[in-house]
Amino acid sequence: MRLSRYFLPVLRETPADAQIASHRLMLRAGMIQQASAGIYSWMPLGLRVLKRLEQIVHEEQMAAGHIPLLMPTLQPASLWQESGRYDDYGQEMLRITDRQERRLVYGPTNEELITDIFRRHVNSYRDLPLTLYHIQWKFRDEIRPRFGIMRGREFLMKDGYNFDVDKDSALHAYNRHMVSYLNTYEKMGLKAIPMRASAGPIGGTHSHEFLVLAETGESEVYFDNDILELTESDHKVDFDNPQECAEVVKRWTTPYARTDETHDPVEFKSQISHSSRRQSRGIEVGQIFYFGTKYSEPMNAFVTNADGDRVPVHMGSHGIGVSRLVGAIIEANHDDRGIIWPEPVAPFLVGIINLAPKDKKTNDVCDDLSRRLSAFGKEPLYDDTHDRAGSKFATMDLIGIPWRLTVGPRGLIKGEIEMSHRRGGQTIICSPDEAINRLCRGNGRRE
């Protein structure tokens, strides 16, 4: 992508009203633009990151055997009256009346709508287990939207719903979700810790939130330092094997890790040695719930079990804050020059800087690098503009592109370009061929 033809409205000044780094950087990097309080347009660069996150979420959900569909943003109020949540949900729910005086809500979550889909089509335990999910915009009329897309009113969420014939099977679905979520965050280059949580308005008995540690997080969290040593994605788990999933969950839920809602100071002190106790702040990037028959009973979602009895289906719901994750990743990955994207979520893996756009040789080498990187599925962002070199470097640093190739006539006399790494800061001098080899080695297309 040639920068001269792209739309990257970066800001040189720090926006005065943005309180936290991710919000400031997203505005400065031209990733988002506020439309009204808590409602944002996703500009081209921001959209590329959002799409990468969506892609990772889809891959990991499908690997766990979960099935994508797409439900609408507007839902009939009648379903929410059936479950009893139309009144309970309160002012966070945006209520709309159409020209026929029909009442609608802009979905803050989808338990009711998915239960309605389920009950119309599924009747027997033979069709279970089933987990359906979608990635769709939600609206919650937050009383104090803040920190940019981190606490928006309109936000993108992956929400999934499991349907199982009994509690055991539903608890396996719960565990399966925990494993798939751990994989998802790791694939994004993030450390997210599952912490025991209370279930809030979704209801239920089991719940964990996933938190990314950050000083600017809104949750107070307490945990055993040992949990930071755990990793998941190296292990290959058979998602159909309840035992294997339960073992992963046990490993991750044995060390103490709680949010302030479930924190117990006495247990905290008695379970963990003084040197391992940690108190910090965190950003909630996901939550999973098992709530049994809370929705299936009032909404008549029953199936016939193996004994021929009609039983209410056991359910859980599971959410990942896809748009909030963009902010959370930036909170965990930036410096005073800008964003430092983890490679799997970077909007572009490589930035090319042309130091002399009037020089034919320099242009030819830049074009060739662009073409070859694109052929490997790593389309670069190519700064072919006539801006000053210093300003080009500052923009690449600000928008956080992991690798930068700098090409100019002086180096090309010796057949050399400069290749530098945004995170490590190291720079090497090499030939264009070597840069391509290093960037494309061993890993074919990314898209």
Residues 6 or more apart in contact with residue 272 via CB below 8 angstroms: 224, 256
Q: Which residue is nearest to ligand ATP (CB)?
A: 321
In the complex with ligand ATP, which residue's Cβ is closer, 22 or 323?
323
142 binds, options Mg ion, ligand ATP, none, Cβ within 5 to 8 A by partner type: ligand ATP
Residue of 408, 357, 403, 412 lying closest to 384 (CA atoms) = 357
Using CB distances below 5 to 8 A depending on partner kind, what does residue 155 bind out of ligand ATP, Mg ion, none?
ligand ATP
- Give 29 or 320: the residue with its C-beta nearer to Mg ion: 320
Closest distance to ligand ATP from the beta carbon of 92 (Å): 9
Query: Peptide bond preceding 129: is omega within 30 degrees of 0, i.e. cis?
Result: yes
Burial class from Cβ neighbours inside 10 Å (0-12, 13-18, 19+) for residue 274 reads: exposed
415's torsion region: left (phi>0), alpha (psi -120 to 50) or beta?
left
- Quick count: other Cβ atoms within 10 Å of Cβ 368? 14
Q: How far is the CB of 395 from Mg ion (least distance, A)?
A: 36
**Shortest Å distance, C-beta 131 to ligand ATP:** 16
Q: What is the total residue count of the chain? A: 447
Three-class SS of residue 9?
A: coil
The binder of 140, among ligand ATP, Mg ion, none, by C-beta within 5 to 8 A per type, is ligand ATP
Q: Which CB, 284 or 379, lies closer to Mg ion?
A: 284
| Closer residue to Mg ion, CB minimum distance, 287 or 333 | 287
Least distance CB 22 / ligand ATP (angstroms): 12
Rounded to a whole number of angstroms, the minimum distance from the CB of residue 137 to ligand ATP is 11
Residues sharing a CB contact under 8 Å with residue 394, sequence separation 6 or more, in sequence order: 337
Q: Which is nearer to Mg ion, 175 or 207 (CB)?
A: 207
CB 348 within 8 A of CB 8: no
CA-based end-to-end distance of the chain: 15
Tell me which residue has tokens 């929410």.
Answer: 80
Q: Least Å distance between CB 242 and ligand ATP? A: 25
Supply 98's token pair. 């159409």
Instruction: Choose among Mg ion, ligand ATP, none what residue 256 binds, the Cβ cut-off being 5 to 8 Å by kind.
Output: none
The interface partner of residue 247, options being Mg ion, ligand ATP, none and the CB cut-off 5 to 8 Å by kind, is none
What is the rounded radius of gyration, in angstroms, for the C-alpha atoms of the chain?
24
> Min. distance of Cβ 261 from Mg ion in angstroms?
10
Residues whose CB falls within 8 Å of the CB of residue 176, separated by 6 or more in sequence, listed in order: 64, 65, 131, 239, 245
| From ligand ATP, Mg ion, none, interface partner of 296 (C-beta below 5 to 8 A by class) | none
Phi, psi of 130 (to 5 degrees): -145, 130
In the numeric block, the tokens 């039983």 are attached to 311
Tokens of 238: 């058979």
Which residues form the interface with Mg ion (CB under 5 A)?
287
Nearer to Mg ion, 34 or 287 (CB): 287
* 164 binding partner (options Mg ion, ligand ATP, none; Cβ < 5 to 8 Å by kind): none
Binding residues for ligand ATP, rule: CB under 6 A, are 109, 140, 142, 151-152, 155, 157, 200, 284-287, 319, 321, 323-324
Identity of the residue, 202 or 350, whose beta carbon is nearer to Mg ion in the bound complex: 202
